[in-house]
Amino acid sequence: MDKTKAKKRIDELRKLTEYHAKKYYDEDKPEISDFEYDMLMVELRNLEKEFPEFIDKNSLTQKVGGKVKEGFQKVEHEVPLQSLQDVFNYDDVEDFCIKVREQASKNKIENTRFVVETKIDGLSAALEYKKGEFVRGATRGNGLVGEDVTENLKTIQTIPMKLKEDIDITVRGEVFISKKDFEKLNSEREQMQEELFANSRNAAAGSLRQLDSNIAKSRPLDIYIFNVQKIEGREFNSHFEELDYLEKLGFNVNPIRIECKNNKEVIEAIKKIGEKREGLTFGIDGAVVKVDNLKLREILGTTAKTPKWAVAYKYPPEKKETKLKDIICNVGRTGVITPMAILEPVKVDGSTISKTTLHNEDFIKEKDLKIGDTVVIQKAGDVIPEIAEVVKEKRTGEEIEFNMPTECPVCGAPAVREPGEAAVRCTGIECPAKLFRNLVHFVSREAMNIEGLGESIISQLLEKELISNIADIYDLKLEDVASLKKNGTKFAQNLINSIESSKSNELYRLITALGIRHVGTKASKILAKKYGSIDNLANADFDSLSMIDDIGPVVANSIRDFFVQEQTIDLIKRLKEAGVNTIQETDENEDNRFEGMTFVLTGTLQNYTRLEAANIIEKFGGKTSSSVSKKTTYVLAGEETGSKLDKAQKLGVTIITEDEFKNMIN
């Protein structure tokens, strides 16, 4: 390759690796497997080696990926948390061992030993102890500066808060989620129609880097310690000696560490871990080879990014062929219809795979999948199993094309795919698959605001078959609700009162509660004011809807599709029969002093929540917006304002204080 082509490819690879490193380290949402990323890095590293004049200190080959997430305090690591040099074949492992022995021989160090450990698939963290007390914990970050995640680390039961000796020590470990817990976590997220974690590392990192420690507490995080970063008052000769001491202090130390006397034993240890990896309770993506002698480590030194006394052997992803027997469709709680591949069971990387998600219609077309195809399944480490490709040369001509359903497979309502979206959704409001989520939304504070009817009570009502659709809420009897709790009469009476009270809610609350796609509280208020009743809204044509400010054609289509369905017509009829208000009350003395004005709220207000302030503005005929523009009339600024205030000043938008706002509404 000539220099021009090499420079062009190096630039391309740097952009690619930066993008995927950001997805992996900063957002905890990888888009490609570890192996694919590693191959990009190998290509970049080899090109930089061949053309050293193009090496740049900002290249990811020269620095550790990752940065401090906004909202966390920064922690400067006294001892850098470096990454490891990856190798992908045994020849490179041999070369590493030979170079180490050569340096040992030059410095008259005999009996050079190595330690081979599992490379745990998680998030690296440093734990700091003062006089045996856990005082601070931080993520690796960019190796020099990490994030203070002390409160989140305190939720991990295997991290000792007090050591067995009163010693000052900083250790490094890997936070992870076990295979069993990872599968359970993703299964729960799938049931809730939440985005699945791509792998156990993604799950652990996403859990540890939460600003709310309650989220970390709810996740099954664990940790293995694998290194002493810094210690006061003690010295060690070997890495093995360090690890034994860490166990005596009470740490949960990496359980797999194999001492090796020579190169051959190192290779055998890597192979042994590879053979046993599928039986391990935790996920790994490689084996780490370390020099055991700590004095030799000092002599070998480090680069800016990696130590010269260790390498990480990365296992290649396992791939297997199997048959795509069928494609079925599941309906999630949000109404998204997801195609699922039914496979001839095949064992891949320790797991028996009999089904896997096909994500959406575009994925099936991109892979050119047909029922009856021979397909390649891959599962690198703990990555969710996926169909990598179709073995087209094995097609017989009997394969069957798959098309996404036009009707919901559960309730028969129209299934639609809106422009710009990949998902196909069920539009039925009474669909059993969506019922729980629809009920939770219907009774929520911003909708019908039925106090006491939370997720737990809704689950019990469904389980005991006391309700089977939204309208059934208004048929509940005191004794039905009282049966849900011991001595539950008072609770039941309060709930029945709240249900009864909700019947007289303003019309916009009912429109919000119906959960029409793209129609939130703001749009509901506009529609209630414009049409005056649920019947008028149901009969509104597309043209009149699409001409309303803040509605437009997409929302108009969604409203029309919703109200023409039999399920919707039936629900509205039953709500009317139950006495639920479906008419907008008119006020002849309506005050529209803010008509034609747009407000933007920023900062913390002392006397109102933002929602309360927005409701007042809308009550007086005004509108609120989340962004400042030349069309903004006023920016209402509280304390601790952000960039919106700066933008308002630049655009010359009038900025008002909370006191000025109070004067405007009084």
Last residue of one domain, picked from the residues 518, 547, 578: 578
Domain count, the chain: 5
In the set 5, 15, 119, 464, the catalytic residue is 119
Both 205 and 284 in one domain: the answer is yes
pLDDT over threshold 80, residue 28:
no
Looking at the chain, how many residues does it have?
A: 666
- Same domain, residue pair 534 and 556: yes
H-only helix segments in 595-642: 610-619
**Do 572 and 538 share a structural domain?**
yes
* pLDDT value, residue 131: 96
In a domain, 306, yes or no: yes
Q: Residues of the chain with pLDDT > 90: what percent? A: 55
Whether 189 contacts 124, CB under 8 Å: no
Is residue 411 domain-resident? no
The percent of residues in the chain predicted with pLDDT above 70, rounded, is: 95
- Cα–Cα distance, 23 to 518 (Å, whole number): 28
Bridge partners of 407, per DSSP, are 414
Report if residue 177 sits inside a domain: yes
Band of pLDDT at residue 113, cut at 50, 70 and 90: very high
Could you read off the pLDDT of 175-195 as tens digits, one per residue?
999 988 988 888 887 776 677
CATH of the domain at 548: 1.10.150.20
Q: Which of 357, 376, 394 is the last residue of a domain?
A: 394
Give the CATH number, domain containing residue 24.
1.10.287.610
Domain assignment present for 409: no
Tell me the pLDDT tens digit for each residue of 532-571. 999 999 999 998 898 887 888 889 999 999 999 999 999 9
Q: What is the pLDDT of residues 449-507, one digit of tens each?
A: 999 998 889 989 998 999 999 999 999 999 989 988 888 889 999 999 999 999 999 99
> Which has more confidence, 489 or 352?
489
Question: Which residue, among 167, 177, 181, has the nearest Cα to 224 in the 3D structure?
Answer: 177
332 & 301 share domain? no
Domain that holds residue 37: 3-54
96 and 157 both lie in a single domain: yes
pLDDT at 105: 93
125 within a domain of the structure (yes/no): yes
pLDDT band at residue 381 under the 50/70/90 scheme = very low
- Average pLDDT over every residue of 42-59: 84
For residues 182 and 139, state if they share a domain: yes
- Describe the crossing of helices 552-563 and 566-578 by its angle, rounded to 10 degrees: 70
pLDDT tens per residue across span 93-105: 999 999 999 999 9
Looking at the structure, do residues 513 and 643 belong to the same domain, yes or no? no
Judge if 323 and 345 occupy the same domain: yes
Indicate if the pLDDT at residue 146 is higher than 60.
yes
Question: Which DSSP letter does residue 317 get?
Answer: P
What CATH number is attached to the domain comprising 105? Answer: 3.30.470.30
- Note whether 283 and 141 are same-domain residues: yes
Domain boundary among 368, 394, 420: 394
- For the beta carbon of residue 422, count every other beta carbon within 10 angstroms: 12
Same domain, 620 and 643: yes
412 within a domain of the structure (yes/no): no
Specify whether 328 is located in the same domain as 390: yes
Residue 45 lies inside a defined structural domain of this protein: yes
Please give the backbone phi and psi of residue 424, each rounded to the nearest 5 degrees, phi first. Answer: -100, 135
Whether residue 569 lies inside any domain: the answer is: yes
Annotation says 650 is catalytic? no
Q: Are residues 215 and 150 in the same domain?
A: yes
